[in-house]
Amino acid sequence: MNAKVSTKTQPKHEQLGLTDAEVVDMYKYMLLARKFDERNLLLQRAGKINFHVSGIGQETAQVAAAFALNREQDYFLPYYRDYGFVLSVGMTLEELMLSAFAKADDPNSGGRQMPGHFGCKRLRIVTGSSPVTTQVPHAVGIALAAKMQKKEFVSFVTFGEGSSNQGDFHEGLNFAGVQKLPVIFMCENNQYAISVPVKKQLGGKVSDRAQGYGFPGIRVDGNDALEVYRVVKEARERALRGEGPTLIEAMMYRLSPHSTSDNDLVYRTKEEVEENWKKDGIPKMKSYLIENGLWTEEQDEALVKDIQAQLKAAIERAENAPFPKPEDTLLHVYADSEGEE
């Protein structure tokens, strides 16, 4: 008697090598980043914090990319919307709230930089600078060090599509292509460089620019977590084989204003924003988990309550933490000259 052949299709996350627990964790980080972002918008409106740059609508690709990397070895150069990414690689809500409240214990800059300028030595998150796109050549330099020292890690850098028009972007990609460096460039194309729509920024695709520098450029749906995971994972494997960099263009939409200083309805319509809310990757991920028997509405409600409790504790800690002292202004700015003649 012939054995019965199962007609059940293997879930996509299993095909990609992700366990059930890992794909559930991906969703948890997406929701954590979303709730953190929403709470910061409320804190700013209430006058508790001064400024917030939102990443609502971009969490799906950020978290998926983080899970595709080696979070114990690789180096990360995120840009200022990447709350989902930095949470996924190990930053805590408390650390991010200390930054939002500009407190001395902020691990990013000791409360001296605006929120979103991520930096964490223990997690290999390289300090970001205010001028956009400067993180791209920095990522290339780190990849060059990996190649010269024959070390098994990649550098991963993110930026917006507006940044892909800057000289730092082109110089970084050109050098990485010539040297075949283990670096992954990921453009989070959210359709707007502050108030300028993509149709007024780009004459073609960001991903197509990689061809001029001699390596692959891939466009992916940034609202599809598993596709982003697949593409980033393949880019990392390619880099470690010595085949050089990859440029990934993750297509998404900034669902919130550029920042708390921005009125986005001046340059786009309410209808456009509402239409893009239907494409949000977080509900899609939740539906995928439920369809595969990995998640329930009851678990979702419990997760939201847990995140709210975490946020409350992080905010209380940040509000009560000390501000930097005036005399600390020049710390880490000038080299210590003690012992020099």
With b meaning 16 or more CB within 10 Å and e meaning fewer, what string describes 23-57?
A: bbebbbbbbbbbbbbebbbebbeeeebeebbbbbb
Within 13 Å and on the Cβ side, how many CA atoms surround 219? 12
What is the C-alpha separation between 33 and 15, in angstroms, rounded?
26
Question: Which residue type does 87 have?
Answer: L
Q: CA of 152: how far to CAs of 144, 244, 255, in Å?
A: 12, 13, 37
Strand partners of residue 77: 157
What is the C-alpha separation between 244 and 182, in angstroms, rounded?
5
Note the pLDDT of residue 8. Answer: 67
For helices 20-45 and 225-240, what crossing angle results, to 10°? Answer: 110
What is the C-alpha separation between 226 and 229, in angstroms, rounded?
5
Note the pLDDT of residue 341. Answer: 46
Note the pLDDT of residue 128. Answer: 87
Task: State the DSSP code for 140.
Answer: H
Residue 176 near residue 148, CB atoms below 8 Å: no
In 43-100, at which residue ranges do the beta strands (DSSP E only) sit? Answer: 75-77
Task: State the DSSP code for 125.
Answer: B
The tokens describing 27, both together, are 């969703």
What is the C-alpha separation between 83 and 62, in angstroms, rounded?
8
State pTM to two decimals. Answer: 0.94
What is the C-alpha separation between 181 and 235, in angstroms, rounded?
12
Phi, psi of 183 (to 5 degrees): -130, 140
Residue 29 near residue 84, CB atoms below 8 Å: yes
What is the C-alpha separation between 177 and 214, in angstroms, rounded?
6
What is the C-alpha separation between 172 and 167, in angstroms, rounded?
8
Question: Where does 241-296 have alpha helices with state H?
Answer: 270-277, 281-291
Q: Which distant-in-sequence residues (6+ apart) come within 8 Å of 58 by Cβ? A: 81, 82, 84, 188, 190, 222, 252, 254
Q: Which distant-in-sequence residues (6+ apart) come within 8 Å of 55 by Cβ? A: 33, 37, 62, 81, 82, 83, 84, 254, 256
> Pairing relation of β-strands 183-189 and 155-160?
parallel
Phi, psi of 142 (to 5 degrees): -65, -40
What does each of the 341 residues of the chain score in pLDDT, given as a tens digit? 455 545 468 999 999 999 999 999 999 999 999 999 999 999 999 999 999 999 999 999 999 999 999 999 999 999 999 999 999 999 999 999 999 999 999 999 999 888 889 999 999 999 988 899 999 999 999 999 999 999 999 999 999 999 999 999 999 999 999 999 999 999 999 999 999 999 999 999 999 999 999 999 999 999 999 999 999 999 999 999 999 999 999 999 999 999 999 999 999 999 999 999 999 999 999 999 999 999 999 999 999 999 999 999 999 999 999 999 998 888 878 877 665 54
